[in-house]
Amino acid sequence: MNGRRSLLESIRHWVDRSLHGAMTCAEFESALVDYLDGSMSTLAKRQVDLHTLLCPRCRRYLRAYDRARRLAVEALREPEMETLSAVPEDLVQAILSARRSGSTAHGS
Ligand SMILES: [Zn+2]
């Protein structure tokens, strides 16, 4: 009985250490930039993938982060005049003023 219990304990410890413990949520968040840039070693990338699989919170975080990053890249791109003319003028103005007030609200 005691033996079985300690076996389960060591399995739990092993799982904690080798799976979830391989990367904490904080480590995951700080590794994200490198991960999305692709400038990461295969081993570190696998740790991020593993943590993404195991942690629903970070999975959601990664999805939101990736989407925000893509939107930011698109927003920073010079807007083409053809694209702008296809969009109603007042909508363009609303987006531009939202971006202006957004950037002042967040400081630099
Ligand atoms: Zn996490």
What is the distance between the alpha carbons of residues 25 and 73, in angstroms, rounded to a whole number?
25
| CA of 15 relative to ligand 1 center, distance in Å | 15
Q: Using the 8-state DSSP alphabet, how is residue 23 labeled? A: S
Give me the number of domains the chain comprises. Answer: 2
CB atoms within 10 A of CB 48: 21
28 & 73 share domain: yes
100 & 51 share domain: no
| The one-letter amino acid at 37 | D
| CA of 21 relative to ligand 1 center, distance in Å | 10
13 & 64 share domain: yes
Q: What was the pLDDT predicted at 107? A: 47
What pTM was computed for the model?
A: 0.48
| CA of 69 relative to ligand 1 center, distance in Å | 19
| CA of 65 relative to ligand 1 center, distance in Å | 14
| CA of 74 relative to ligand 1 center, distance in Å | 28
53 & 92 share domain: no
pLDDT in tens, 7-61: 877 766 666 666 544 688 888 988 988 888 888 888 888 889 988 988 899 999 9
Distance of CA 16 to the CA centre of its chain: 23
Distance of CA 105 to the CA centre of its chain: 23
Q: Name the 3-class secondary structure at 30.
A: helix
Work out the pLDDT band at 1, boundaries 50, 70, 90: low
